Amino acid sequence: METRRFKTNTILSFVISAAATAALADDAALYDTAIPADAAFVRVLSTDGNVPLSTPFAGRQFVIGADLADAYIPVSAAQLSGVAAGSYFSIVAGDKGTKTIAEPPRETAAKVHLLLVNTGPDAVRLVVPEQNLEVVAAIGAGQAASRAVNPIDVTLAVERVHDSAVLGVFEVSLSRGQNLSFVVDHASARLIENRFGPTRSFN
């Protein structure tokens, strides 16, 4: 299997947690609307190059263009139903419509967060293949889990649990303040650097 190389570059990539939201609001010039203090973060994941043009979430209808595929959209939690401030969600299109995957909170801005998002049908895990070291423990279909690590250069692999099949291998050069997502579908995995789009308001 081909090993994909990933090196951080200078893009609009932010580590956002509930504690850091207020500080990011000072960067209002980057957004059409400043990030609200009670922001939740929602992204629609591209699958097979397709992005739902309109998808329901928490009592609202999100209209997402291809340019915002895979990007977190800040939204005031007060405008959503049953969503807490500082929470993160991924929405993915499936054969039976869209499904929402709740993501774990971001622990600290001082480390790199490696997020494993499983949109496929089988349990998967994230490992260091040369050492058979488990980085993120096995998660089932429709789940997400993460691990906060120090900056490092390392090879990581997404492995299907029941038969140890490798769905993707990635050489990554990790920098402080960078978050990465390993997104798994039915037969493969891809790596995306977390990024953020403009604030969405439903007022």
pLDDT at 13: 34
Per-residue tokens: 125: 């895990």
- Report pLDDT digits (tens) over 172-187: 998 887 899 999 998 9
CA distances from 18 to 106, 161, 179 (A): 8, 33, 15
pLDDT at 49: 61
pLDDT at 33: 66
Among 155, 201, 182, 197, which Cα is nearest to 11's?
197
Q: Which residues of the chain have pLDDT under 50?
A: 8-31
The answer to whether the CB of 169 falls within 8 A of the CB of 155 is: yes
Handedness of CA 98, 92, 196, 143 (dihedral sign): positive
* DSSP track, 76-99: EGGGSSS--TT-EEEEEEETTEEE
Please, which residues bridge with residue 149 across strands? 112
d(CA 97, CA 167): 24
- Report pLDDT digits (tens) over 83-109: 999 999 999 876 667 889 999 988 778
pLDDT at 2: 53
User: For the whole model, what pTM was predicted?
Assistant: 0.83
Non-local (6+) Cβ contacts of 195 within 8 A are 11, 12, 13, 70, 71, 72
d(CA 20, CA 37): 9
